[in-house]
Chains A and B, each alone.
Chain A
Amino acid sequence: MERSSWAFNWRRVLLLRETSSLIMLFVVIIVFFSIAPLFLSKENVGVVLEIIPELGIVALGVTMLMITGEFDLSVGSVFAFCPIMMALFMDWGMNSVLAVLCALVIGAGLGALNGFITLTFGIPSFITTLGAMLIWRGGVLLLTGGWPPPFPVGMFTGALVGKIGILRVSLFWFGIITLILWFILERTDFGNWMFASGGNQIAARAMGIDVRRVKLANFMLCSLLAGFSGVIQSFRLETTLPSMGNGLEMEAIAATVIGGTALSGGVGTLIGTVVGSFLIRMIDNGLIMARAPSYWFRVFIGIATILAVILNTFVRERAKKLRC
């Protein structure tokens, strides 16, 4: 009896979707620490923690949307579009808080547009948002002519990226957003509708769930978070570059998938995505600390992504057979 309950618990741990990404995270930390002990120095931990939220917040939105069975490839472009609109609004004399809010509304609006087109014409969101990715990246270049607008002076940067010891406020925003989204996903009826919409939309619809509304809301959320994260980065760097967030959509999807969320929808965890975001940024930073050429970054992220999914599938299959 004693033994079977012990085995059962192990089985449950192995069945958790976050497990394989957590294992990988520990391995990465140990490997980099043994190569470059400074990897875990206070200063370096601070450096890593300051860049994680910018990927993490985007990845949380991508995860929520992916659970409902849709994609957003345009997050990287929205990540650049929103802060640039913010800078332009201020250039036109708008109040700083209002400019940020307007930029965020635009972010949500671009998500609504993705959702509207995808759901109205019944085309894959992969296609819609691939188009949107190109359109808004092009839009950013058109608006700026390739030259960044001047970063407004006297912005309230402290509220988003102010320093507290080695940490930045953005880390707390990341934490708060994670908690709120976790609550919505795991503890509210809307979260249940999300899983249902992504897992079997015919069943969801048959049970009276407004699948369209659920998906639309998540398209908007995903895009809003991408815009918010872009604003955070522009505050940290005090500049708005048209090239911001280039390739971020792939990193966000990688973080999501590494964390155990299924590409096909209906399955996923936000905690896994947080772990995935840490993993990606730690590999990034660890390679620098280990003095490896930075070209290795993409190679390692690619390997990590594939490995995580294999590990996840493998571990869970094994765990299922661990019947007691």
Chain B
Amino acid sequence: MEERNEYLVEMVNIHKWFAGVCALKGVNFAVRYGEIVGLVGDNGAGKSTLIKILSGFYPPDTGKIIFEGKERHFASPREARELGIETIYQEAAMVPKMSIMRNIFMGRELSRTKIASLGYLDIARMEVESMKALESVGLRLRSPHALVDELSGGQRQGVAIARAMYFKSKLVILDEPTNNLSVKESEKVLEFIRELKKQGISSVFISHNLYHVYPVADRIVVLSHGEKIGDYLKEETSVEEITKLMVLP
């Protein structure tokens, strides 16, 4: 039970206002090492705002973020990413008309040498490494050169998760990863998330659909109107209890 105090990230008393509207009212949110946290709540509950603060899109108005024991201020998503916080948005994760390999290494290409500040791509190594990355989440695809366009929604999430894993992320935030996916595809995504846990990587799974989150989450946090109204270890709660919380006005 000692592990209970071992937090990878803690967000303490976070407030955020937008043009006079209070989006977050003193939210405390924490993720332990290797934990899968489900973040649920209705649309407009403040899930996205909380996550955008955590991933460096904007700073909180008050409150602090402690990552790996140190207080952090992220000036940009890039800074958060460099520390190992990777956020996967369904629409913004991939470039559909680019190959899987080029997507995995987008912005972090492997190169052999620099020619006048241009990196000469090491395509052979990127091919091998991207296949390795895909296998690490159990995703078997024919070729690293297939276009992301040709993949199913679930497979795309898999590629994004493989990418996060390959680049040694410590915390992977998934924003509605199962939206618009078939049941079978959603199931695949959950499998990828379990794979993250196996490798000791923490993750936050955001969804407005409790039924997608519940099977994989270790802990479930419920937001409503900018406040945290529930924070339960899965074994201490039930779908019914959380559903009741969520539908409260």
Contacts and interface: CB of A to CB of B under 8 A. Distances in A.
B is bound to A = yes
Interface of A: 184, 187-193, 195-196, 199-200, 202-204, 206-209, 262, 266-267
Interface string B85-113: 00101011111111000100111110100
A196 B102 CA distance: 9
Interface residues of B, number: 26
Contacts of B102: 192, 195-196
Interface string B64-100: 0000000000000110010000010101111111100
B91 A196 contact: no
A207 B89 CA distance: 11
Contacts of A202: 91-92
Contacts of A195: 95, 97-98, 102
Contact of A207 (B96, B108, B121, B123): B108
Tell me what chain A mostly uses at the interface: helix, strand, loop, or mixed.
helix
Contacts of B107: 193, 196, 204, 207-209
Interface of B: 77-78, 81, 87, 89, 91-98, 102, 105-109, 111, 115, 118-121, 123
Nearest to A268: B97
B121 A187 contact: yes
Contact of B120 (A187, A200, A207, A266): A187
Given A187-B121, A195-B102, A196-B107, A203 B97 contact: no
B119 A190 contact: yes
Given A187-B120, A187-B121, A188-B118, A207 B106 contact: yes
B16 to A, nearest CB: 20
A62 to B, nearest CB: 19
A208 B92 CA distance: 12
A203 B118 contact: no
Contacts of B89: 206
A49 B156 CA distance: 46
Contact of A203 (B93, B109, B111, B123): B93
Contacts of B92: 200, 202-203, 206
Nearest to A267: B97
A206 to B, nearest CB: 5
Contact of A189 (B97, B98, B119): B119
Contacts of B87: 206
A176 to B, nearest CB: 15
B95 A266 contact: yes
B77 A196 contact: no
